[in-house]
Chains A and B, each alone.
Chain A
Amino acid sequence: MAVGDLKTNNYCDFIVDREQERCIQCQVCVRQCPYGTNIYKEADNIVVSDFSLCTGCHRCEAMCPTGCITIRRNTSQFREHANWQAADIKNIYKQAETGGVLLTGIGCDKDYPIYWDHILLDACQVTNPSIDPLREPMELRTFLGRKPDTLEFEEKAGKISLKTELAPQLVCDIPILFSAMSYGAVNLNFCEALARAAEASGTYYNTGEGGLHRTLFKYGKNTIVQVASGRFGVDKAYLDAGVAIEIKIGQGAKPGIGGHLPGEKVSKEVSLTRMIPIGTDALSPAPHHDIYSIEDLRQLIYALKEATDYTKPVSVKISAVHNAAAIASGIVRAGADIVAIDGVRGGTGAAPTMIRDNVGIPIELALAAVDQRLRDEGIRNQASIIAAGGFRNSSDIIKAIALGADAVYIGTPAMIAVGCTVCQKCYTGKCPWGITTNDPYLAKRLNPDIGAEQLTNLLKAWAREIKEFMGAMGINAIESIRGNRERLRGVNLTEKELKILGIKHAGE
C-alpha cells in the first residue's frame, strides 16, 4: 500500500456514526451496503464500518431498525484556503494515484446561480379575482407539437369544419414529462415504474438511448422513444412503439460528450434490448456520425417521420450551450416538432466530473433566449419547447412555463421520489437504492409497484401546486401563463440578466 492509498482511505468524505449501545448486530446495514462499508466481526459480535468505502448514500441509515446509524461529513479539515477546497485537493490525490478521468453521476453540484430562486411569481389582489382551484376547474392539458400558422375552416352543407391539417400532437394531462433515462443506465424496474406512472398521470416517459425492453411495449402510448448517436435498440418496431420520437443530440450534464455504458452493466436483457453483445461497453459517439449540419439533421428528422408515416411528432434534444438559441432556430427550421433543451444542472448516469461541472449554461437563460429567438423569427408556433435540467419543485416548473416552456422534463426528481439521495455514484453501477444498477441483487430494491405509486404521487402533488399558483394568478388554464413573462419579476439580478430573462425587476 502506498502513502497515496492511505491518503484516499483516511481522508474519507463520510463517517458512519454508529451508536454501539443501540446497535443490535442484526446486520441489516451489512447486507444493504453494496460497497462493503459495514462489516460484522463475528468473534467480537460487533458491527464496524470502513469509512473510506462510504459514499454517503444513507441506505444503511434508512434501513437500520434501531436508528443507531447517522451518516455525517468527515469534519477533518485541511487548512482553510479560498482557492484549494477539500474537493479539489482530494481530486488531485485521486488522479495522482490513478491517472484517470474523474467520473460522477447526477447533475452539476457547483454553486452557479439558480435563477429560479431570483424569480418571483405574480398573484391577484382586489382588482382581478383569484380563483380557488378546489372549487373551479383548472386546465393543465398541454399539446406538444407543431401548431399551424393560420387556421382555415370550410363549410359543407351548413356544417363548419377545420380545413387546416393539424400536425400530430402529444397530449399531456400535466406539463411534466419524465426525461430520458436509458434502460441499462437505470434498471428495468425503474423503467417500468416510470412507464406506469406516466400512464396513470396522463403523461410520457422517455426511453433514453437504451432501446425499449419487450415488456415495456405495452406502455407505448405513454412512451417517447429516443434515437441517439449510438442507435441502440433502434428498429422499425421501436419507432412504431412510442407516440413520439426524440433525436438526442446532447445532454445537459455532458454537452458535446458521448455516452459510455460500462460492459459490466450490459446484462443479458440489456444486451437483447440494445442489440449488442453481452458484457461489451455500449459507446455512444459524441456526434451523430450522419449529422454535421442542420441539413443533415433535417434528413434524419424526415427519415424518422417517413418511417413512421408522419404520425408522430419528432423532438430534438440539445444541451443548453452558448448559442442554444441559434441552434434551436435551426432545429425548428429543420422540421422538428419539439425542441428539448437540457440545462447545465441536468442529470446523468455517468459523466466526467469536470465536463459536468463546467460545460453548458443554466436552463433559465437558455430557455428565455430560445423562446425569444423563436418568437422574434416568427417560428415559435412551429415547435413546442420542453425545458429540462434541475427542476426541483412545482414553482421552478411554473416559472419555466412562464418563461416560455411548453412543458418540462424531470429526471433527478423522479429518482429522488424512489429513494435516491443524490450521492452521485450512479456510475459505479452499484446504486444502493436499486435505481442505477443492473445487479439483480440490488435492482430488486426498487419494487416497481411502490415506485410507480411514488412517482404518480409526486406528479399529482406538483400538479395540485401548479393549480394553486394558477388560481392565485387568476387564470384557469396553463395556456394563459405559458410564455407570459409579465407575471414574473426578478430579484437580485443585474440589468443584463433581466434582459436575457426578458423579465422586469421586482417593483417595476
Chain B
Amino acid sequence: MKRVYPKEDACIDCKLCEVACLVEHSETKDIFKAYRETPRTLSKAFVEEDGPNSISIQCRHCTDAPCIDACITGAMQRADDDSPVIIDRDKCVGCWMCIMACPFGAIQMDVRKKDKHKVSSKCDLCPGRNIPACVEICPNRALFFEDRE
C-alpha cells in the first residue's frame, strides 16, 4: 500500500505539514476557520526536531501493526492488509496502550474531550484525497506518498 515516507535530509522544519494536516482534519477545511475552532483540531503529522535535524512523523501503517494488537477495545483497526490503520473514536477509551506500543511515536493523545472522552489520534492518510495534505503542501519535497514494498 501507499504510505507517507519522510526524507530527513530535505525536511526544513517549517511545519507546513502540520498546518495542512490540521486544516484537512478540521470541521470546515478552511485555514482561517480551522485555527479558530474550539477545540482546535489536532495535527496528525508532527515535526520532531533536534538542532539542524528535523523529520515529519506520521503513522507508518505497519503491515503487522503493534497498535492493533495492543488495542483493548478493537478501536484500532484496518479493513484489510492494504488499508490504512484507523481509529474508531466511539470505541476508543483512551487507555493509551496504542501509544505505548507504537514504535514510531506516531500516535498522540487527544484530550480535548471533543467526543466527551479521551481518544487516540493519528494519521488516517487523508481519506477522500489522492495525495495526503501534508505531502501536497511540503515545499521541499521532504514527504513522499509511495508504495515502497
Q: Give A contacts to B, CB under 8 Å.
A: 22, 24-28, 31-32, 63, 65-66, 434, 439-441, 444-445, 447, 449-450
Which residue of A is nearest B23, CB measured?
A65
Decide: B140 and A450 in contact? CB cutoff 8 A.
yes
Decide: A32 and B51 in contact? CB cutoff 8 A.
no
Q: Given A28-B15, A444-B10, is A66 in contact with B32 using a C-beta cutoff of 8 Å?
A: yes
**A residues less than 8 Å from B15 (CB atoms):** 26-28, 31
Shortest A190–chain B CB gap in Å is: 14
**B residues less than 8 Å from A27 (CB atoms):** 15
The CA-CA distance from A434 to B11 in the complex, in Å, is 12
Shortest B108–chain A CB gap in Å is: 18
Decide: A24 and B31 in contact? CB cutoff 8 A.
yes
**B residues less than 8 Å from A439 (CB atoms):** 52
The CA-CA distance from A315 to B140 in the complex, in Å, is 37
29 residue pairs from A and B, CB less than 8 Å apart: A24-B19, A24-B34, A25-B35, A26-B15, A26-B18, A27-B15, A28-B14, A28-B16, A28-B19, A31-B13, A31-B14, A65-B16, A65-B19, A65-B20, A65-B31, A65-B137, A66-B31, A66-B32, A434-B12, A439-B52, A441-B51, A444-B9, A444-B11, A444-B140, A445-B140, A447-B10, A447-B140, A450-B140, A450-B141
The CA-CA distance from A68 to B9 in the complex, in Å, is 29
Shortest B89–chain A CB gap in Å is: 25
Which residue of B is nearest A62, CB measured?
B139
Which residue of B is nearest A26, CB measured?
B19
User: How many contacting A-B pairs (Cβ < 8 A)?
Assistant: 54
Q: Give B contacts to A, CB under 8 Å.
A: 9-16, 18-20, 31-32, 34-35, 51-52, 137, 139-142
Instruction: Tell which of A27, A439, A444, A450 has the most Cβ of chain B within 10 Å.
Output: A444
**B residues less than 8 Å from A31 (CB atoms):** 13-15
Decide: A447 and B52 in contact? CB cutoff 8 A.
no
Shortest A196–chain B CB gap in Å is: 15
The CA-CA distance from A71 to B49 in the complex, in Å, is 28
**B residues less than 8 Å from A445 (CB atoms):** 12, 140
Shortest A56–chain B CB gap in Å is: 20
The CA-CA distance from A63 to B15 in the complex, in Å, is 10
Decide: A447 and B16 in contact? CB cutoff 8 A.
no
Which residue of A is nearest B20, CB measured?
A65
Decide: B32 and A441 in contact? CB cutoff 8 A.
no
Q: Given A65-B19, A450-B140, is A32 in contact with B14 using a C-beta cutoff of 8 Å?
A: yes
Decide: A447 and B137 in contact? CB cutoff 8 A.
no
Shortest A449–chain B CB gap in Å is: 6
The CA-CA distance from A447 to B139 in the complex, in Å, is 10
Shortest B16–chain A CB gap in Å is: 6
Shortest B71–chain A CB gap in Å is: 32
The CA-CA distance from A447 to B137 in the complex, in Å, is 15
New contact pairs (18) apart from A24-B19, A444-B11, CB-CB < 8 Å? A28-B16, A31-B14, A63-B14, A65-B19, A65-B20, A65-B31, A65-B137, A434-B12, A440-B52, A444-B52, A445-B12, A445-B140, A447-B10, A447-B140, A447-B141, A449-B10, A449-B141, A450-B141
Decide: B52 and A441 in contact? CB cutoff 8 A.
yes
**A residues less than 8 Å from B141 (CB atoms):** 447, 449-450
Shortest B133–chain A CB gap in Å is: 11
Shortest A60–chain B CB gap in Å is: 10
The CA-CA distance from A24 to B34 in the complex, in Å, is 9
Decide: A24 and B35 in contact? CB cutoff 8 A.
yes
The CA-CA distance from A28 to B51 in the complex, in Å, is 17
**B residues less than 8 Å from A65 (CB atoms):** 16, 19-20, 31, 137
**B residues less than 8 Å from A440 (CB atoms):** 51-52
The CA-CA distance from A25 to B16 in the complex, in Å, is 12
Which residue of A is nearest B11, CB measured?
A444
The CA-CA distance from A26 to B10 in the complex, in Å, is 20
**B residues less than 8 Å from A28 (CB atoms):** 14-16, 19
The CA-CA distance from A192 to B35 in the complex, in Å, is 39
The CA-CA distance from A299 to B55 in the complex, in Å, is 53
**A residues less than 8 Å from B34 (CB atoms):** 24
The CA-CA distance from A25 to B36 in the complex, in Å, is 11
The CA-CA distance from A27 to B22 in the complex, in Å, is 14
**B residues less than 8 Å from A66 (CB atoms):** 31-32
The CA-CA distance from A454 to B32 in the complex, in Å, is 32
Shortest B46–chain A CB gap in Å is: 13
The CA-CA distance from A402 to B19 in the complex, in Å, is 51
Shortest B146–chain A CB gap in Å is: 14
Shortest A381–chain B CB gap in Å is: 47
